[in-house]
Amino acid sequence: MKHHGSCLCGAVTFEVEGEFEHFYLCHCERCRKDTGSAHAANLFSSTAKLTWLSGEDMVKRFDFRSEGHIKSFCTVCGSALPNLQFDETLLVVPAGCLDTDIDLRPQGHIFCSHRANWDHELESIPAFEELPEE
């Protein structure tokens, strides 16, 4: 299986060949800061291969306090990008940077004890197909 992805500005493109083993929505404080959202949506693989197709020199890797919370991103637009963790044995791919569909659905929410206070019962609020009109 091959997946393609890119950053928002298109400067960085990549390919992932192989299968994802896990898909989690992480609510920890670091992932919320990374994404500016309620959670990160990350795919994990211990066997897939990452190949940068363009813009590899524009990818910055940030390891928070060298504690293993790693984020890679495009230095032009700031979009989250894949990275290798745990001595390059685990590929972590932010699901939103993929341009191809994946068959795997999220398998769970993790670090729920760290959820933002506003991140509850979100399915009960109105949903709009586009930006709502005032």
> In this predicted model, which residue has the larger pLDDT, 67 or 36?
36
pLDDT band, residue 101 (cuts 50/70/90)? very high
Angle made by CA atoms 95, 116, 91, in degrees to the nearest 5: 25
Mean pLDDT within 71-82: 96
The structure tokens listed for 84 are 């290798």
- For residues 81, 5, 88, 45, the Cα torsion angle rounded to the nearest 10 degrees is 120
> Of the candidates 14, 99, 93, 95, which has an alpha carbon nearest to the alpha carbon of residue 54?
14
pLDDT band, residue 120 (cuts 50/70/90)? confident
Give the predicted TM-score (pTM) of the model.
0.90
Residue with tokens 């393609």: 4
For residue 58, give the amino acid letter.
Answer: M
Phi, psi of 79 (to 5 degrees): -65, 140
Domain coordinates in residue numbering, the chain:
2-119
- pLDDT value, residue 69: 82
Mean pLDDT within 91-101: 97
| Sequence-ordered list of residues with C-beta below 8 angstroms from that of 132, at least 6 positions apart, any chain | 126
How confident is the model over 37-69, as pLDDT tens digits? 999 999 999 999 999 999 999 999 998 876 668
Q: 2-119: what CATH class? A: mainly beta
From the number of C-beta atoms within 10 Å of its C-beta (0-12, 13-18, 19+), residue 80 rates as buried
